[in-house]
Chain A
């Protein structure tokens, strides 16, 4: 199928984009389009207009300092993945991005777009939630910061208002001596995962973030849970969904296996990083 008709705006400034968006409650924002265009083609989304951010200068930045990584709304996945600074300051971002679709999709798709598309089967919302990151949102009413734990309301539903544009996403740095790991199981490398787990091990404890398991990205605290019991401890907090690709029972088994494996990798990565620090 083809997209239904819509008007197309390509504003030259953020202010112009925000004014256009505020004037049309049925308009949608276009950045990379790798999630939006399929929805248009399947006519699951029929916005009155698209506000293309591509003409706005300065939105494609990737800023890295010792506190974390700030990714601009037009930064492509491929650019974030290619950044050695990002890998150094928050290695989990790169580990997860390598699993985001295929290289041809990452060349066009944006990390902020993925974050606010709020797909619980996607990697970057789960990573933002696990790391306790945030999104900067702008509108004609002003700007605000939305913490990850207030961002995800339901399947494909974020707390971003219709007149708001997510201008950047913030991923906090990995503390010194902390470890991370990421793994997922998909039917084809790069496809949507049947289940995926990200883990962080630091001085505060061990936490795991889950994608393609529940209806929203979910973070589970596994501090002090002994090896061998982590999968079941996680499942006590999760309610794995069933779909045409995996039964709830199979998804639960993936959670058990991946949780043990990914948490163990995060602990090993923590020991390795602590060793490097000496």
Chain B
């Protein structure tokens, strides 16, 4: 069977990419395979682990639960898009480094995108809110204590410089 292909314009980290994909191409796979942006990690591929979390028009979504063909015209931000223009670390990345919030690093892209959006919506989370902010992301190294600490540290850093 010849599969029908769709022309899709993906706006990722401020760059427009034209790709031709089958309808079944997941956004996570389009980012990795069609665009070569391998920062977005694919773990469980059914919406449980959160490793593939990207921002869609600023809101965190599971890239493995979104079809690439369905996001034409929307803005996608991947973990690659969180780095500052001068290449220095943003507050969430800086906090992960300071608090030892990453171990093997596989789940890290999903945590960084989730927390970036979470702190934008709630810039001063309580300890419980910080825990709930990352509750949808699994870390199989079980580094949660340091990750929650990193959420709180990132909030401090962002407050100092005025934006997450």
Residues of A within 8 A of B (CB): 1-8, 10, 30, 33-34, 37-38, 40-42, 50, 52, 54, 78, 101-105, 107-108, 188-190
Contact = CB atoms under 8 A, between A and B. Distances in A.
Contact of B45 (A4, A41, A107): A41
B67 interface: yes
B64 A41 contact: yes
Contacts of B135: 102, 188-190
A104 B6 contact: no
Contacts of B80: none
B24 A2 contact: yes
Given A6-B24, A102-B136, A108-B61, 19 more contacts: A3-B24, A5-B1, A5-B22, A8-B4, A8-B6, A10-B70, A33-B65, A33-B66, A34-B47, A41-B46, A42-B46, A50-B67, A101-B136, A103-B133, A104-B62, A105-B47, A105-B65, A107-B56, A189-B132
Contact of B59 (A42, A78, A102, A190): A78
A188 B47 CA distance: 14
Interface string B1-44: 10110100000000000000011101001000000000000000
Q: Report the 3 A-B pairs with minimum CB-CB distance, sorted nearest first.
A: A102-B136, A8-B23, A38-B46
A40 B24 contact: yes
B67 A33 contact: yes
Contact of B47 (A10, A38, A103): A38
B62 to A, nearest CB: 6
A6 B23 CA distance: 7
A149 B120 CA distance: 41
A136 B62 CA distance: 29
B123 interface: no
Contact of A37 (B4, B29, B67, B114): B67
